[in-house]
Amino acid sequence: MEYAVAVNDLTVAYHKKPVLWDIDLEIPSGVLMAIVGPNGAGKSTLIKTMLNMIKPVTGETRFWGEVYEKQRKNIGYVPQRGSVDWDFPTNVLDVVTMGTYGELGWFKRPGKKEKEIAIRALEKVDMLPFADRQISQLSGGQQQRVFLARALVQNADIYFMDEPFQGVDAKTERAIISLLRELRSIGKTVVVVHHDLQTVEEYFDWVTLLNKVIIASGPVEKVFNEENLMKAYKSKVDKLFS
């Protein structure tokens, strides 16, 4: 099997407190994978470390056998919606166009071609009528769609999404999942930090259970079972009974 991502012996710590412990993880190409685990399990930290935003204490991440810098243009990222200031003075089209900045490189300005790419992406997420809208006037679901459109514009081979379903309406959730499936169907790999255990089986074909260490990782039907969930959410379960 070809692996899109291979993480080896990754340990991340804030000061003395380990957040991730000796993570070994392989993500096959073309899967739609959820990373699940309790709060504080290090889900966001894991993808941020893979994407070189946090320096690990030990270990490394390879994308198709190469280091991050070499594959940067093939990697898309959708941060948590709450991580940016939605009162920033800009409109929807402009935010989506930001997805092309990596391809453009330093100095070059986005032009007509980039605008067109952005418009096509907005169309895909049903947000074209909002192209000129100030971003502060969007609902949570609309904000998430804008972020998704921006990721599409990056035209990556693998996407990392940090809680794309957080606080969106049911309609947006359905729209997002069908978009993610479409990405998978054209051979993209999608990695999603996910919160809702009830939808894992319905939405994803691959899952990683994480709680500072990898509890299990593999096809949903194989590893998404009570035993592994108990292990991942153990501290919580223990507390409930103590």
Partner 1 sequence: MNVQIEIQLIAIVVALACSTLGVFLILRKMAMMADAIGHTILFGIVVAFFITHDLNSPLLVIGAALTGTLTVFLVESINKTKLVSEDSSIGLIFPLLFSIGVILISLYAGDVHLDTDSVLLGEIAFAPFNRFVVNGVDIGPSSLYVMGTILIINIIYVSLFYKELKISTFDPGLAMVLGISPGIMHYSLMTLVSLTAVGAFDAVGAILVVAFMVGPPTAAYLLTDDLKDMIFLSGIIGTISVILGYWTARIFDVAIAGMMAVMVGVVFLLIFFFAPDRGLLSIMRRKKRQKYDFAQISFLMHVINHEGAEDEREELGKNTIHEHLGWNKEFVKDIFNNLYSSNLVYIEDDIIKVTEKGRDLAISNAEEIVNGI
Integer Cα distance of 19 and 40 in angstroms: 8
CB 40 within 8 A of CB 210: no
Q: Which is nearer to partner 1, 109 or 112 (CB)?
A: 109
Applying CB under 8 A, among 104, 128, 216, 237 the residue interacting with partner 1 is 104
CB 60 within 8 A of CB 67: yes
Q: Does residue number 98 form part of the binding site for partner 1 (CB under 8 A)?
A: yes
Angle of the 112-124 helix axis to the 140-153 helix axis, nearest 10? 130
CA of residue 181 relative to chain centroid, distance: 14
Q: Does residue number 79 form part of the binding site for partner 1 (CB under 8 A)?
A: yes
Closest to 163 (Cα-Cα) out of 176, 178, 149 = 176
Expressed in percent and rounded to 5, the helix, strand and coil fractions of the chain are 45, 25, 30
Closest to 102 (Cα-Cα) out of 62, 45, 150 = 150
Q: Which is nearer to partner 1, 15 or 239 (CB)?
A: 15
- State in angstroms the smallest separation of the CB of 65 from partner 1: 20
Q: Does residue number 134 form part of the binding site for partner 1 (CB under 8 A)?
A: yes
Q: Does residue number 166 form part of the binding site for partner 1 (CB under 8 A)?
A: no
The 138-157 contact track toward partner 1, x by CB under 8 A, reads ------------x---x---
Angle subtended at Cα 229 by Cα 203 and Cα 193, rounded to the nearest 5 degrees: 45
* Residue 134 amino acid letter: Q
Q: Does residue number 95 form part of the binding site for partner 1 (CB under 8 A)?
A: yes
Q: Does residue number 74 form part of the binding site for partner 1 (CB under 8 A)?
A: no
Binding part of the chain for partner 1, among 4-12, 30-38, 108-116, 174-182 by CB under 8 A, reads: 108-116
Contact positions vs partner 1 (CB under 8 A): 14, 48, 51-53, 72, 75-77, 79, 83-85, 88-91, 95, 98, 101-102, 104-110, 134, 136, 150, 154
